[in-house]
Chain A
């Protein structure tokens, strides 16, 4: 299973990388929104985990772009901060499947990823 992670916080992206690699996923990392959009077609992920606030393109733009792509429907988990409820709702409207609020536990993310991929 291939997962694209878009997150601009180095410590967080590395933590997610270590945790999900341990679970056996193939990962592709993007440190800003534009990088993530560029990698969606080439990498063809089975899941996208994206932060909302990122340089060059936001998580919402990534969701919109993904949903415009023909073919399979890629599940998307968004990483939001406290007090971003409106943005989370907007993300769901655009087609996000799940969200996790920062601060979060890497183990919790791992469980959510597994559950969403299984469903």
Chain B
């Protein structure tokens, strides 16, 4: 009974418990404060060290950038004793790699070549290579980037293995690195990858390839038959980007592909490489496509502007959804006079919704 009373009465004064609670709180606050202070001191110390190293490296990097090989019979970039001593510290080495990579990305010509020379002279590729074995993906990706920027072509096999890596970002970095190092030839990883290439990665690769010569249409033709849909889509983008008209006959069968994204990309690709047979092939598959793809086909038929397309487009004005009617009207207007003639001759042109649709399509054209 006494026990029950003791624990069920909340207002029994117990000052010693309050004191204990306060002491614990103050202790915890003190510990947190000490922890924050130690952290800030260490951070500041590290920042000061980095600034000191940066100053030290600045001179070394400038000597490298403006180094002229053969000057005073020197073939290696001269380094100060302080730099050589600093290289024993892993943090200093990493900072040097970071600065070299940053410099290499911003400079070209002899300056860039000299930065690579310094990277090689100090054997820094070994450190970047070690990162490839690290289990953390971001370190692995960093290593790949360092090797690619510093043009370490001799290590291509190690990077190539990672083009089909499990982690998407490692894979993306490795694929970009290979293309950076070998241009179009580097795309041979498309023969083996079974993982999808993201839209973003496709844009990155296309951007890298835009500045490089050596496009091989026969390779692209092979990728058009890939079992990996994203490889097929990427091949279609390459064919379109480089206007590879010779691939028209290999591209057209992709209109029958089961994946709607592949079909859509095929239509977009055919817009860039169309031939006499393009309109017929697209009209043939039109009914089996989904609405976005049909709209794309209508647009391309208008752009091609063959006389037979006019009667097909005119038929589409009478069928389907309003969106498709508008697509057909736009395409006819795009065709110019022959298309406009079809619009004028359309029997329901004065009735709703056609009057509104035609008006909208004409207004868009004049805008």
A: residues with CB less than 8 A from B are: 9-12, 14-15, 18-19, 83, 102-108
Contacts and interface: CB of A to CB of B under 8 A. Distances in A.
Interface of B: 54, 58, 61-62, 65-66, 99, 102-112, 207
A103 B105 contact: yes
A15 B111 contact: yes
Most buried by A among B103, B106, B109, B207: B106
A104 B106 CA distance: 6
B108 A11 contact: no
Contacts of A12: 103, 106-107
A57 to B, nearest CB: 21
Q: Helix, strand, loop or mixed for chain B's interface? A: helix
Contact of A18 (B66, B110, B112): B66
Nearest to A108: B109
Contacts of B207: 83
B150 to A, nearest CB: 13
Contacts, number: 52
B106 A105 contact: no
B96 to A, nearest CB: 11
A105 B58 contact: no
A9 B101 CA distance: 12
Contacts of A106: 65-66, 107, 109, 111
A81 to B, nearest CB: 9
Can you list the 4 inter-chain pairs with the closest CB atoms, starting with the nearest? A105-B109, A11-B103, A103-B108, A105-B108
A102 B104 CA distance: 10
Contact of A105 (B54, B99, B107): B107
A48 B105 CA distance: 23
A9 B107 contact: no
Contacts of A102: 105-106
Among the interface residues B54, B105, B112, which one has the most CB atoms of the partner chain A within 10 A?
B105
Contact of B109 (A10, A14, A107): A107
25 contacts: A10-B58, A11-B106, A12-B106, A12-B107, A14-B61, A14-B62, A15-B65, A15-B103, A15-B111, A18-B65, A19-B66, A102-B106, A103-B104, A103-B105, A103-B107, A103-B108, A103-B112, A104-B106, A104-B107, A105-B107, A105-B109, A105-B111, A106-B65, A106-B66, A108-B108
